[in-house]
């Protein structure tokens, strides 16, 4: 393992155009539950039960209660060394792009400049009637579901199953992956598409792939390096091992 991380760090050092794709696992050490690990359940619901337009149409209050609970957790959380390591990498590599599936905003709070938010932002409230969008950082919304001035209810500004990803963000994500020498895949179960398809796109475009994950995933056997462990420990090691004048 020690040897593997040394070789992977060498690959990071040699790569000019690096893209990172992150998932819920990078925020786990900040105290935010992932979706598909054992701690990921909320009142016995799975993400697939709640993160859908159908669930929201059936019972907007329960879906909002889940988001409200997550908003309170996220508001209390701080970025962890994994988030900060990606900021260090961005500062060292001009060709760096960060793509995240997370809606928690912790990358931006750590200092990442322009993370591509594939699945939206939990702090955005969008009206289901007039389409108005606003930012609201109140951790614990008092009226659920929140109501717009037009009288219609608002929904979280996130992407649910069966909904398309924001087109411009997706286009930029594909472009970054196509142009990358190296893709870092951090803390994602690589089960949700089209985000997971970016890993295959990187491979078919000739990029190397390093996965950092606490557990094995469907892509672990296909990537160049699969580093097993918490990203809050592995990412700083991977990135700072050769820091100084060599990175
Ligand atoms: C650690 C760690 C530590 C823990 N350190 N690691 C192709 C094939 C099959 C299905 C589809 C397909 N293409 C599309 C689909 C359908 C669907 C889909 O993918 N379904 C699959 C589940 C089967 N996709 C969609 O519907 C997408 N839209 C779409 O395709 O539009 C086109 C279209 C439209 C209309 C009709 C047809 C097509 C939209 C997907 C939206 C996903 N939304 C959610 C909710 C977002 C809002 C919110 O946060 O509430 O996004 S679901 C949830 O999953 C969330 C996440 O971003 C996403 C991914 O999860 P992630 O981040 O990977 O988390 P986990 O929990 O799964 O994994 C955590 C990992 O961390 C684990 O591996 C741990 O081991 C690891 N870990 N601690 C490092 N300390
Ligand atoms: Zn409205």
Q: Give yes or no for a contact between 110 and 83, defined as CB atoms under 8 angstroms apart.
A: yes
Structure tokens at 31: 């105290």
Q: Which atom of ligand 1 is nearest to the CA of 51?
A: 45
Q: In the predicted model, is pLDDT for residue 49 greater than 70?
A: yes
* Cα separation, 86 vs 97, whole angstroms: 10
φ/ψ of 12, rounded to 5, equals -60, -45
Mutate to test the pocket of ligand 1, among 45, 77, 157, 161 (most ligand atoms within 8 A of CB): 161
SS3 120: strand
Scan for tokens 């890993």, then name that residue.
199
Bridge-partner residues for 18, per DSSP? 182
Which of 35, 48, 107, 234 best tests ligand 1's pocket when mutated (most atoms within 8 Å of CB)?
A: 35
Instruction: Note the pLDDT tens digit of each residue in 179-221.
Output: 999 999 999 999 999 999 999 999 999 999 999 999 999 999 9
The residue whose CA has the least distance to atom 55 of ligand 1 is 101
Give residue 166 CA to ligand 2 midpoint distance, Å.
Answer: 20
**So what's the pLDDT on residue 43?**
87
> What is the CB < 6 Å shell around ligand 1?
23-25, 28-29, 34-37, 40, 47, 51, 101, 103, 119, 158-164, 187-189, 191-194, 213-215, 217, 230-231
Ligand closest to the CA atom of residue 151: 2
**% of the chain with per-residue pLDDT over 90:** 92
What lies within 8 Å, CB to CB, of 7 at 6+ separation is 225
Give residue 245's pLDDT.
Answer: 45
Residue 130 CB burial class (10 angstroms; 0-12, 13-18, ≥19) = exposed
> What whole-number distance in Å separates Cα of residue 146 and Cα of residue 154?
6
pTM: 0.96
Task: State the catalytic residues.
Answer: 119
pLDDT tens digits for 132-186?
A: 999 999 999 999 999 999 999 999 999 999 999 999 999 999 999 999 999 999 9
Domains of the chain (ranges; CATH) run: 1-31+79-119+165-247 (3.40.50.1220), 33-76+122-158 (3.30.1600.10)
């Amino acid at each position: 393992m020690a040897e593997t991380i040394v070789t992977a760090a060498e690959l990071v050092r040699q790569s000019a155009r690096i893209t990172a794709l992150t998932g819920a696992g990078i925020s786990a050490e900040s105290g935010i539950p992932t979706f598909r690990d054992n701690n990921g359940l909320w009142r016995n619901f799975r993400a697939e039960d709640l993160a859908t337009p159908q669930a929201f149409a059936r019972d907007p209050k329960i879906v909002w209660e889940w988001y409200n609970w997550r908003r309170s957790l996220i508001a209390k959380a701080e970025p962890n060394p994994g988030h900060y390591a990606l900021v260090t990498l961005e500062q060292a590599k001009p060709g760096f792009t960060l793509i995240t599936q997370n809606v928690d905003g912790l990358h931006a709070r750590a200092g990442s400049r322009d993370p591509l938010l594939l699945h939206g932002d939990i702090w955005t409230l969008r009206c289901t009637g007039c389409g108005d969008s606003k930012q609201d950082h109140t951790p614990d919304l008092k009226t659920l579901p929140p109501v717009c001035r037009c009288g219609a209810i608002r929904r979280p500004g996130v992407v649910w199953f069966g909904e398309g990803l924001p087109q411009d963000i997706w286009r930029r994500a594909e472009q970054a992956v196509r142009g990358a020498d190296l893709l870092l895949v951090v803390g994602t179960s690589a089960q949700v598409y089209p985000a997971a398809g970016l890993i295959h796109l990187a491979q078919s475009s000739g990029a190397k792939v390093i996965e950092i994950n606490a557990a094995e995933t469907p892509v672990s056997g296909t990537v160049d390096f699969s580093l097993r462990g918490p990203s809050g420990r592995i990412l700083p090691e991977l990135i700072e091992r050769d820091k100084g004048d060599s990175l």
